[in-house]
Amino acid sequence: MKKIVFLLAFLFTNLVSAQKEVVNAFVEKWDNSKVYLVKMTESMPEDKFDFKPTDREMTFKEQLMHILDNMDWLSTTHFSNGDYKKKDRTAIVTKQQIVEEIGRSFDEAKIRVENNKETDLGKKVVFFAGEKTKLQILNLLQDHVTHHRGQLIVYLNLNQIKPPAYVGW
C-alpha cells in the first residue's frame, strides 16, 4: 500500500511540475508577444490607424481591439471567474492609449493564467467549437494574437513601413 501511495504522490508531483513548466513557457512567450505587438503598434503612424487594405477587412485599430477583446474573453472565461463582460474601449482613441491598453490586457490575461491552478490544464471546458482543454485554450490565446499580428505586418508593409524585428520565445 505504501508503494502505491508513494507512486501516486510521485506521479502527481511530476504532473504538477510539468504543468507549471507549461504555464511558465506560456508566460515567457506571452510577455514577448506583448513586446512585439507594442513595437508593431508603435511602428504605424497614428494617422494610419484607420487603414484597411480592403472593405471586408478590419482597420489597423480594429485588429488591435479585436486581439484585446479575444484575449480578455478567453482568459476571463476559462482562467478566471468565467464572468466575461466585453470592455467598452470607445474612449481609447490615441496611439498612446492603445499601447497602454495592449500592455494592460496582456498583463491581465497573464495574471489570470498564472493564478489558475496549474493542475487544471487538462480540464475540459465548454467552447463554441466543441469541448477543449485549458491547455488548448492557452494555445488558442497565443495563436489568435499571432494570426492577427500577421495581418498587421501586412498592413505595415502596404504602407511602406518596415515591421519591427520579430520577438519570439
Spell out where 98-149 has E strands.
Answer: 124-125, 132-133
**66 annotated binding-site participant:** yes
- Residue 78 is labelled as binding a ligand: no
CB 113 within 8 A of CB 79: yes
Cβ neighbors of 160 (< 8 A, separation 6 or more) are none
b/e map 96-124, b = 16+ CB within 10 Å: eebbebbeebbebbbebbeebebeebeee
Question: Pseudo-torsion of CA 103, 139, 141, 164, nearest 10°?
Answer: 50
Q: Is 147 annotated as a binding residue?
A: no
Known binding positions:
66, 144, 148
List, as residue ranges, the binding site for a divalent metal cation: 66, 144, 148
